[in-house]
Amino acid sequence: MKVFKVKPAEEFALEFASGEKIKLCFNMKALSVLGEQINNKKITFSGPEFFAAIIYAGAKACDPEFTEEEANALYVRLEESMPSALNGIIEEYCSAAGVNIEEVKKKAVMAML
């Protein structure tokens, strides 16, 4: 018999020097939002649009008021000055979605070239 061990999706947060915190979570709601983003905008699985969509989905699951514009701005902010935080978000997404992180990184590098 196949058994699936179920545990709630873990929330995590980005905390900035200013004290601002942005909570993210990659539960089914977040994965559904990401699926809609990919299908509606025809987003490929690499590049800035995909990573901004991941941020949007994770934050939207915790804060219904979080916007796509905020996600785009946050992606730029993280890419420029906090790449380890951006990498952490991608790793959390991959873990929750069962996606191979090495494949995501490889596609991202190929998109940059």
Count of domains forming the chain: 1
Q: Look at residue 81 and tell me if it is in a domain.
A: yes
H-helix or E-strand spanning residue 98: none
Q: Look at residue 3 and tell me if it is in a domain.
A: no
Per-residue pLDDT tens listing for the chain (113 residues): 999 887 788 899 999 989 999 999 999 999 999 999 888 877 777 778 889 999 999 999 999 999 999 999 999 999 888 888 988 898 898 888 887 777 776 666 555 54
Q: Look at residue 51 and tell me if it is in a domain.
A: yes
Burial class (CB in 10 A: 0-12, 13-18, 19+), 51: buried
Q: Which domain holds residue 93?
A: 11-112
Q: Which residues pair with 21 in a beta bridge?
A: 15
Q: Look at residue 2 and tell me if it is in a domain.
A: no
Q: Look at residue 4 and tell me if it is in a domain.
A: no
Task: Give the torsion sign (CA, 63, 76, 51, 101).
Answer: negative
How many CB atoms sit inside 10 A of residue 24's CB? Answer: 26
Q: Which residues pair with 25 in a beta bridge?
A: 11
Structure tokens at 54: 């991941």
Q: Look at residue 92 and tell me if it is in a domain.
A: yes
Q: Look at residue 73 and tell me if it is in a domain.
A: yes
pTM of the predicted protein model:
0.83
Structure tokens at 57: 């989905």
Q: Look at residue 99 and tell me if it is in a domain.
A: yes
